[in-house]
């Protein structure tokens, strides 16, 4: 719902010696907020400590409590604690009642509870926050600086050190006015640290890990700590709950997660696709509005036809369009349907903006579709959107997870597959999961790394995303396999759980969710893109009350095997839980990933864009990419309709855009 930028002078940083130097910092903070003004068009606020040591900046998109009293930065009545918050926090009314006698609330803003909780619980306040958030808090009396991020990384938060000043912001571009000179982290690119770890594309810039906080005491270097992590049950322990009980548990928690996200003082809508996740959200919203009289944002009419939903509409012959299915769902629910055409011309026109705002190379056109949807939602006056992200991560919705499911018997469930059945099914699946034109998954992986990953291959499959045509000189950074680098970076307790305690399905879910999902998907298909057009998105499936319950389910209730026809039903528990709220078509439809088209005409608008962006001059300016290989990829992408060549060329084009817009220095040995 907002954007934040903050500065903390670390020990050794020269104190400003004049008012002019203090003004320079003020101006830099203001310029950093200018770069994310689109995130907060309704208000802007700054605060500084007066001595040049601490600066907090905030731009606001007003969602709950539209009054000036809810503008940020927040401060307590004794001017000791200050905070800037980006996001939406739920259960705030409960904490207002609980803490009202000891904290004097200044507004009705949900985000103000951060100060009350900090005063009441101290550093543990972060554990009591429910929602999607990134925040900075400064305790002036104790000289404690805290930055925190929500459990799944819905909201972004980055940090770096420039001239011995800690810079923390919603987007990396905010660092530019402070003198940051971006350089490519070539080792991180080769080891895919920007995909799976806390690293980014740039040297010295870190992404605060979801479920973590950073803290500096008395202007000392920051410490990073965990306040929450994903957990799964011990695979050796039998599940005592019945199937019906668990399905009802999912249904009740999802309904609550949807309901609390309908609160807003502005209009609210839905992003709807042809999948079960967004369809379930839409169905539950319709049920809550019609049957339970729940208010939809600022609309208390309870008229279903006033619920607006928005759907990307790719070309009908692209193989990527789901708008017809989404329209049938909308008609069945009686809600207002708005298709958003995303043609080749739209993709070309929004390509560079999508890269600049997401700050994330992601080789698919679907992010451009997301940007187009946000623009149309804004044109209809919608400021809050409910989405379906996060379901696949907790309920095993991805096709690749079936292979991980078959690695071991599910001892927690009495009717699970036997060892012999697993072996037979794995052989049958092997051919259907091959990827023509790509190296064998996991080929050459050290056996020690395979053991640390408990033989799961999800990590190796995801590395396809980081498969760029690297220049030969970058091979100096290939002594460590990306899979090895990532698994060695994981907390030792988690690594032990992957090897010994979790079922391989859950281990693969963890690797996906803690890396690719938060670092790429939620940036390219989430908040960074939606906020370009002042739209706040809320994903009910990422409510940790729901996800913790979903993570506790037996693998055999996430993926269910049918011996009669040899089929697998992904997201079985969720499918049964939401059956009353979706059409029969959606209930029976198997998972289709939300991917954009990859086939376009030779010499068409997108081909011309690719050729311009991948000119020898532009590619050479990157320094870490082989120009000849890039030219061949572009040729294969359009002349041979090679989808993998298209995706690799797409990524290179994105890197070129980032290079130009960020002014990144050419990478060298």
Which sequence positions are flagged as catalytic?
2
Residue 222 three-state SS: coil
Residue 110 assigned as binding residue = yes
Distance CA 38, CA 31 (A): 13
For residue 648, the tally of other CB atoms under 10 A from its CB is 23
- Burial-class residue 130 by CB neighbours within 10 Å (0-12, 13-18, 19+): buried
Q: Are 53 and 75 within 8 A, CB to CB?
A: no
Distance CA 476, CA 538 (A): 42
Distance CA 85, CA 70 (A): 11
For residue 124, the tally of other CB atoms under 10 A from its CB is 11
Strand partners, 87: 133
Distance CA 189, CA 482 (A): 9
Distance CA 131, CA 63 (A): 14
Q: Are 282 and 335 within 8 A, CB to CB?
A: yes
Residue 91 assigned as binding residue = no
Residue 144 three-state SS: strand
- 459: Cα separation from own chain's centroid: 17
Specify the DSSP element, H or E, that contains 196. helix 193-196
Distance CA 264, CA 7 (A): 31
Q: Are 540 and 261 within 8 A, CB to CB?
A: yes
Residue 351 three-state SS: helix
Would you list the DSSP string of 490-521?
A: S-HHHHHIIIIIS-HHHHHHHHHIIIIIIIII
Distance CA 548, CA 569 (A): 21
Distance CA 588, CA 136 (A): 45
Binding-site annotation, residues for L-glutamine: 110
Binding-site annotation, residues: 110, 312
């Amino acid at each position: 719902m907002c954007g934040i930028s903050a500065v903390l002078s670390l020990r050794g940083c020269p104190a400003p010696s004049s008012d002019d130097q203090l003004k320079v910092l003020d101006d830099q903070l203001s310029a950093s907020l200018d770069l994310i003004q689109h995130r907060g068009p309704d208000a802007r606020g700054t605060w500084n400590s007066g001595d040049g040591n601490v600066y907090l900046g905030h731009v606001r998109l007003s969602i709950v409590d539209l009054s000036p009293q809810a503008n940020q930065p927040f401060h307590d009545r004794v001017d000791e604690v200050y905070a800037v918050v980006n996001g939406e926090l739920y259960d705030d009314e409960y904490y207002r009642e609980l803490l009202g006698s000891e904290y004097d609330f200044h507004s009705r803003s949900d985000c103000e509870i951060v100060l009350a909780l900090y005063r009441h619980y101290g550093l543990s306040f972060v554990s009591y926050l429910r929602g999607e958030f990134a925040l900075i808090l400064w305790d002036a009396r104790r000289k404690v600086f805290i930055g925190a991020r929500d459990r799944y990384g819905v909201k972004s938060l980055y940090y770096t050190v420039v001239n011995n000043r800690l810079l923390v912001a919603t987007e990396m571009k905010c660092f530019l006015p402070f003198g940051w000179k971006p350089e490519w982290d070539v080792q991180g690119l080769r080891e895919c640290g920007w995909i799976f770890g806390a690293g980014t594309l740039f040297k010295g810039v870190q992404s605060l890990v979801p479920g973590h906080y950073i803290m500096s005491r008395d202007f000392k270097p920051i410490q990073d700590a965990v306040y929450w992590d994903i957990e799964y049950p011990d695979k050796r322990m039998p599940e005592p709950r019945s199937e019906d009980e668990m399905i009802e548990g999912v249904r009740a928690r999802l309904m609550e997660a949807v309901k609390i996200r309908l609160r807003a003082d502005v209009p609210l809508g839905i992003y709807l696709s042809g999948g079960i996740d967004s369809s379930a959200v839409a169905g539950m919203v319709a049920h809550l509005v019609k049957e339970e009289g729940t208010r939809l944002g600022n609309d208390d009419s309870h008229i279903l036809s006033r619920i607006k939903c928005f759907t990307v509409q790719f070309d009908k012959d692209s193989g990527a369009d789901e708008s017809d299915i989404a329209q049938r769902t909308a008609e069945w629910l009686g809600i207002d349907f708005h298709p958003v055409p995303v043609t080749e011309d739209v993709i070309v026109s929004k390509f560079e903006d999508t890269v600049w705002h997401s700050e994330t190379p992601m080789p698919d056109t679907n992010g451009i579709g997301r940007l187009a949807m946000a623009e149309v939602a804004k044109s209809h006056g919608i400021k809050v959107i409910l989405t379906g992200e996060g379901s696949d991560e907790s309920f095993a919705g991805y096709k690749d997870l079936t292979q991980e499911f078959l690695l071991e018997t599910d001892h927690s469930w009495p009717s699970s597959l036997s060892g012999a059945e697993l072996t037979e099914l794995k052989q049958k699946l092997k051919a259907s999961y091959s990827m023509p034109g790509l190296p064998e998954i996991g080929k050459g992986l050290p056996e020690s790394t395979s053991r640390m990953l408990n033989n799961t291959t999800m990590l190796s499959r995801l590395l396809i995303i980081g498969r760029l045509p690297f220049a030969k000189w970058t091979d100096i950074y290939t002594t460590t396999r990306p899979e090895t680098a990532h698994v060695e970076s994981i907390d030792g307790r988690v690594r032990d759980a992957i090897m010994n305690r979790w079922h391989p399905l859950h281990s693969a879910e963890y690797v996906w969710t803690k890396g690719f999902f938060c670092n790429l998907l939620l940036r390219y298909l989430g908040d960074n893109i939606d906020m370009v057009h002042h739209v706040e998105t809320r994903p009910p499936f990422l409510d940790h009350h729901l996800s913790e319950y979903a993570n506790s389910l037996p693998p055999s209730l996430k993926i269910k095997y049918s011996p009669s026809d040899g089929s697998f039903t992904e997201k079985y528990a969720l499918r049964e839980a939401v059956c009353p709220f979706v059409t029969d078509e959606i209930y029976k439809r198997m998972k289709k990933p939300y991917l954009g088209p990859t086939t376009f005409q030779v010499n068409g608008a997108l081909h011309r864009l690719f050729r311009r962006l991948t000119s020898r001059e532009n590619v050479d300016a990157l320094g870490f990419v082989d120009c000849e290989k890039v030219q061949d990829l572009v040729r294969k992408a359009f002349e041979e309709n090679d989808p993998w060549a298209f995706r690799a060329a797409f990524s290179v084009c994105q890197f070129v855009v980032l290079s130009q817009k960020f002014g990144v220095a050419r990478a060298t040995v």
